[in-house]
Structure 1
Amino acid sequence: MNQEVTILILTHKSKKLVLDYIKELYKKFKIIIIDNSNDLDLKSIIINSYPGVEIYLIPNNGYSNQINFGSKLVKTEYFLISNPDIRGMNESNVLNFVKAAKELKNKFSALGPRFLNVNPKSHKQSEDNKSISPMKFISGACMFFNKKNFDSLNGFDENIFLYFEENDFCIRSYKVNKNYQLNNIKIEHDIGTSVEVKNEEDKINQANFRTWHFIWSKFYYYKKHYGFFLAIIYFLPIIIRINFRIVLYKYKNDKINLTKYINRRSGLYSSILNKQSSKRI
């Protein structure tokens, strides 16, 4: 078993995806699963069928909290954090992260792979013909760290429950050591599939939950790094659009979109008023 890197899998109601992820890797690398959905069935399967894999069930205090909790358990020089909805992570890709880290002489904050199935308009990546390129931001779905460098940056901001936590980490870390994308590591990310939903009601609840936290975290991020005044100026058109759509969907009696934008407004106003990211399902 490799003694240089630990794989942290961060999961919430993703039992099947987790089991698919680890089946080819658990004999080759130290794997720690951090679950914040109290999945006792997953825990039982791991304990009985995957010797050596560690699993911890923790309260759901957000993605940043999961990462920081898991990082404290890491004893190796490097660790990889990954969502369970990543496809294509194999032994070769993990070792390529380690190889690049050593070639950089550990002078990096985070390394990330090339994603094959993302929208180029919303997910900026480096030029494909460059093997390694500095990037200001690395996707939080899959990030590779040197443990010492990660600890020196005090990990992730646990005020952020969901969304923009990797942006916050990267903008802070880039001032110390650059972040890099490795184009010889190619994976796919099935965005939005990490949480297993049972019915249409669950799907709608998840969507509204994500809508609330996305806008809360976005304002918090802008306020933290650019100041409250500039954040308000940036978000003023968004506030106007949200309230216009609420009036419109009330008039049209469109309950689904009305609920969506009420949640959006609630999340934004909570962040503006400096309230915690408190919405839960």
Structure 2
Amino acid sequence: MQHHVSVIIINYNTAEYTINCIKSILKNTSKNLSCQYLIVDNGSEAESYFTLKKYIDSISDAHTINLIRSNINTGFGGGNMIGVREAQGHYLAFINNDVLFENDCLSILKRFMDSNKNVGVCGPQAFKENHELLPTIDHFASLGRELFGRKVLETINPNKYPKRKISYSEPQRGQFVAGSFMFFSSEDFNNVGGFDTNIFLYHEETDMCKRLANINKQAFLVPDGKFIHFHGASSPKIIDLKIELKISLLYIIRKHYGIFSYLILLLYLQLKYFFSGLLKPANWPVFLALFKQAPLSMSLKHKQKIHPL
């Protein structure tokens, strides 16, 4: 049976967030929408996994919810691709577990995608806990964005780089949509090969939407859909994230823009973190990683342990 939407959510040691996320989706989603829910436990400790399993078992008779266990943390892309293997939806919704629906986002996004076959991915409008606007569309990670910043790009070429931090009342095209809530055509997602599992965390959105752009598929914000994002509920310590961010950034710059852009960005980041490290010693680990060229072999992906139940 093909569903309208396959919803894929990753749990990593934050079962309460995942449970609240599922509850908000079930509460707000129209019963007329056929949904398949695939919850991927991405190598959580036993307590988190069994807390989640107990909740899902208690409601599984009423809803199509499948809990899939990986005994090792495979990262954002890897975890989502585990869910994709069992997905049967015409659309794929990848939703962070620290998300709460404010309205029927899935039906809103489906209607938009049904009417816009040139769109490969879209996302609803994100808000912080205090209902402050969170950017949903963004500009591709690139050498220009890293050297000059987003505001400069938005000023010199507003058509190519629409403002991120304003409220839109109509659907707005961007270069990519935030990874906290990405709604894909499954056909387009499959045609570009899905998430690149070389990336453990960060910049998956740029990578996916660059590949979608290569087949003339666009990315859009659909502001009628609204959700709360708690932001980084299951992240590891900050310094590891900073290093991982640079590893992923340099990887996709080289992948999509070539060796010349990669080398310029690498040199820029090395100098930036060398001098910032003189003033803020906490940045030295980031500089040392960049000095070693921040290869994929340094990624958190290679530091994960197997967690049998």
Shorter chain as denominator, the TM-score bin is 0.7 to 0.9
Q: 1:273 to 1:191 in 2, by over 3 A?
A: closer
Equivalent residue, structure 2, for 1:18: 18
Q: Which has the bigger relative contact order, CA under 8 A and spacing at least 6?
A: 2
1:153 to partner: Cα distance: 0.7
Unaligned runs of 5+ in 2: 139-162, 305-309
Write the distance in 2 (CA, Å) between the matches of 1:47 and 1:80: 19
Equivalent position SS for 1:111: strand
Write the distance in 1 (CA, Å) between the matches of 2:293 and 2:85: 29
- 2:123 corresponds, among 94, 108, 112, to 112
1:262 aligns with 2:284: yes
1:154 aligns with 2:193: yes
Equivalent residue, structure 2, for 1:78: 91
Q: 1:10 to 1:150 in 2, by over 3 A?
A: same
1:229 to partner: Cα distance: 2.1
- 2:54 corresponds, among 45, 68, 72, to 45
1:185 to partner: Cα distance: 1.0
Say if 1:159 and 1:277, in contact at 8 Å, map to a contact too: no
TM-score by length of 1: 0.82
Equivalent position SS for 1:77: strand
Write the distance in 1 (CA, Å) between the matches of 2:230 and 2:260: 36
1:32 aligns with 2:44: no
1:232 aligns with 2:263: yes
1:159 to partner: Cα distance: 0.8
Letter in 2 for 1:44: K
Say if 1:212 and 1:266, in contact at 8 Å, map to a contact too: no
Equivalent position SS for 1:55: strand
1:24 to partner: Cα distance: 4.1
Letter in 2 for 1:42: T
Write out per-residue CA displacement over residues 159-212 of structure 1, whole angstroms, 9 at most, x where no aligned residue. Answer: 1110011111111112221111101112222212245xxxxxxxxx62122111
Say if 1:13 and 1:194, in contact at 8 Å, map to a contact too: yes
Write out per-residue CA displacement over residues 76-108 of structure 1, whole angstroms, 9 at most, x where no aligned residue. Answer: 211211001122254x2110011111111x332
Structure 1 stretch displaced more, 111-120 or 234-243: 111-120
Q: Identify the structure with the greater strand proportion.
A: 2
Write the distance in 2 (CA, Å) between the matches of 1:274 and 1:192: 22
CA RMSD for the aligned pairs?
2.7
Equivalent residue, structure 2, for 1:202: none
Write out per-residue CA displacement over residues 218-247 of structure 1, whole angstroms, 9 at most, x where no aligned residue. Answer: 111111111122222133232112122334
* Sequence identity (%): 22
Say if 2:133 and 2:165, in contact at 8 Å, map to a contact too: no
Say if 2:15 and 2:52, in contact at 8 Å, map to a contact too: no
1:4 aligns with 2:26: no
Equivalent position SS for 1:238: helix
Say if 1:126 and 1:135, in contact at 8 Å, map to a contact too: no
Write the distance in 2 (CA, Å) between the matches of 1:157 and 1:269: 25
Structure 1 stretch displaced more, 260-269 or 66-75: 260-269
Equivalent position SS for 1:110: strand
